[in-house]
């Protein structure tokens, strides 16, 4: 399955691995499209949502130093859209920092989550 395909550098580049990931992105686009078609006052359900897709590793050799993350939706106007944020080389680039930032925007304020107690200010 997907785990076996993604667990080696050879698998990451295989057509089957690409097919599985393409399918996942198609499903995300489908969900985003459906949410964007639902009107909620002045905004759409997508405008009022935050969707995230990411990889748990950059390559099959457990490289977690550069994880691609995509956020969709506007978070009820709290998430600035249309940007690329590059955290390469920055000291505070933990996934749990991203999760804390996202939770803050949803009204869930925790002092810490996982291995982080800091937010990503740019999110």
Structure tokens at 90: 């920055």
Looking at the structure of the chain, the number of domains it has is 1
pLDDT band of 11, cuts 50, 70, 90: very low
- Which domain does 7 fall in, by range? 2-84
Residue 91 lies inside a defined structural domain of this protein: no
Rg (CA), the chain: 16
Question: Is 76 among the domain residues?
Answer: yes
**Residue 18: inside a domain:** yes
Please write the tens of the pLDDT for every residue from 106-123. Answer: 999 999 999 999 999 899
Q: How far apart are CA 92 and CA 98, in angstroms?
A: 10
Per-residue pLDDT tens digits for 51-77: 999 876 666 666 667 788 999 999 999
Confirm whether 42 is domain-assigned. Answer: yes
What is the pTM (predicted TM-score) of this model? 0.83
Distance separating alpha carbons of residues 27 and 25, to the nearest angstrom: 5
The reply to whether 79 falls in a domain is yes
Q: Answer whether residue 117 is part of any domain.
A: no
Q: Is residue 38 part of a domain?
A: yes
Instruction: Say if CB 49 and CB 77 are below 8 A apart.
Output: no
Q: Is residue 45 part of a domain?
A: yes
* Chain mean position to CA 72: 8
């Amino acid at each position: 399955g997907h785990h076996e395909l993604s667990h080696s550098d050879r698998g990451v580049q295989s057509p089957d691995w690409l097919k599985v990931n393409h399918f996942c992105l198609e499903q995300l686009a489908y969900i985003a499209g459906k949410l964007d078609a639902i009107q909620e006052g002045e905004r759409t359900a997508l405008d009022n949502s935050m969707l995230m897709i990411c990889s748990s590793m950059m390559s099959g050799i457990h490289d977690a130093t550069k994880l691609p993350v995509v956020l969709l939706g506007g978070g009820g106007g709290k998430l600035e859209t249309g940007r690329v944020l590059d955290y390469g080389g920055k000291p505070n680039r933990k996934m749990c920092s991203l999760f804390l930032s996202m939770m803050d925007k949803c009204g869930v304020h925790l002092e810490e989550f996982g291995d982080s107690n800091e937010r990503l200010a740019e999110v």
